[in-house]
Amino acid sequence: MKKAIAIILQFFLFLIIFGAFSLFPPFDVEHILGTTPAGTRIFIVDGLLLAFAVYVLILLIELLTKRLRGSLNDPCIHSGCGSGPYYEVRLPHPFRILRNH
């Protein structure tokens, strides 16, 4: 449950950062999407860049606190899953019992 709350809070954090720094750009990095006689359409990249920077910062914090677990820590990669624990999955009828050694 704590992971779900953290994910939702991170989503809102990224949304707020993207919106705030797109409306008030500190770096003035702009990409012109198109020009018409009525006006020019511009995409301001600052919010996207800062949201990506916060994402990298969160990844570094989780990596340093060892909360981030990837496939490198998977014991099946190094020793093989054949020697691992025995798992049994029971599925409803008409399926049989599937076993993974």
Q: What is the pLDDT, as a whole number, of residue 80?
A: 53
Whether residue 49 is contained in a domain is answered as yes
Whether residue 91 is contained in a domain is answered as no
Selection from 19, 3, 96 nearest residue 51 by Cα = 19
Whether residue 56 is contained in a domain is answered as yes
Whether residue 94 is contained in a domain is answered as no
Could you tell me if 17 and 48 are in contact, meaning their C-beta atoms sit under 8 angstroms apart? no
pLDDT digits (tens), the chain, 101 positions: 888 898 899 999 999 999 999 888 888 888 888 999 999 998 888 989 999 999 999 888 888 887 655 545 555 554 555 555 545 555 555 545 555 44
Whether residue 90 is contained in a domain is answered as no
Whether residue 86 is contained in a domain is answered as no
Whether residue 33 is contained in a domain is answered as yes
Q: What is the pLDDT, as a whole number, of residue 101?
A: 47
Q: What is the pLDDT, as a whole number, of residue 68?
A: 59
Range of the domain at 61: 2-71
Model pTM score: 0.58
Q: What are the residues whose beta carbons fall under 8 Å from the beta carbon of 58, sequence distance 6 or more?
A: 10
Whether residue 60 is contained in a domain is answered as yes
Q: How many domains does the chain have?
A: 1
